[in-house]
Amino acid sequence: MMKALLALEDGRTFACRSFTGPGEASGEVVFNTGMSGYQEILTDPSYRGQMVTMTYPLIGNYGVNAEDVESDRIQVAAFLTREYQAHPSNWRAGGTLADYLKSQQVMGIDDLDTRALTRHIRNAGAMRAVASTIDSDPRSLVAKARGIDSMVGLDLARVVTSKRAYRWRDGRREDLKPSESGLDQGLWRHRGRRPAVVAFDFGIKYNILRCLQTRGCEILVVPAQPDAESVRALEPDGIFLSNGPGDPEPVAYAVETIRRLLGYRPIFGICLGHQLLGLALGGRTYKLKFGHRGINQPVKNLVTGRVEITSQNHGFAVDLDSLDPNAVEVTHVNLNDNTLEGFRHRELGLLAIQYHPEAGPGPHDAHYLFDEFRSLIAG
Residues with catalytic function: 271, 356, 358
269, 357 Cβ separation under 8 angstroms: no
What is the b/e burial string over 97-134, where b = at least 16 CB atoms within 10 angstroms of the residue's CB?
bbebbbeeebbbbbbbebeebbebbeeeebbbbbbbbe
- Distance, in Å, from the CA atom of 25 to the CA atom of 248, rounded to the nearest integer, reads 24
Amino acid at 117: L
Give the Cβ contact number of residue 311 at 10 Å: 26
DSSP letter at 309 equals: E
DSSP letter at 130 equals: E
- Distance, in Å, from the CA atom of 246 to the CA atom of 253, rounded to the nearest integer, reads 15
212, 242 Cβ separation under 8 angstroms: no
Amino acid at 85: Q
- Distance, in Å, from the CA atom of 215 to the CA atom of 371, rounded to the nearest integer, reads 7
Looking from the CA of 148 toward its CB, the CA atoms found within 13 Å total: 25
- Distance, in Å, from the CA atom of 309 to the CA atom of 25, rounded to the nearest integer, reads 33
Strand pairing category for 2-8 and 127-132: antiparallel
Closest CA to 130 of 10, 291, 292: 10
DSSP string, 134-180: S---HHHHHHHHHTSPPSTT---HHHHS-SS-EEEETTEEEEPPTT-
- Distance, in Å, from the CA atom of 28 to the CA atom of 1, rounded to the nearest integer, reads 24
The separation between the first and the last C-alpha atoms of the chain, rounded to the nearest angstrom, is 58
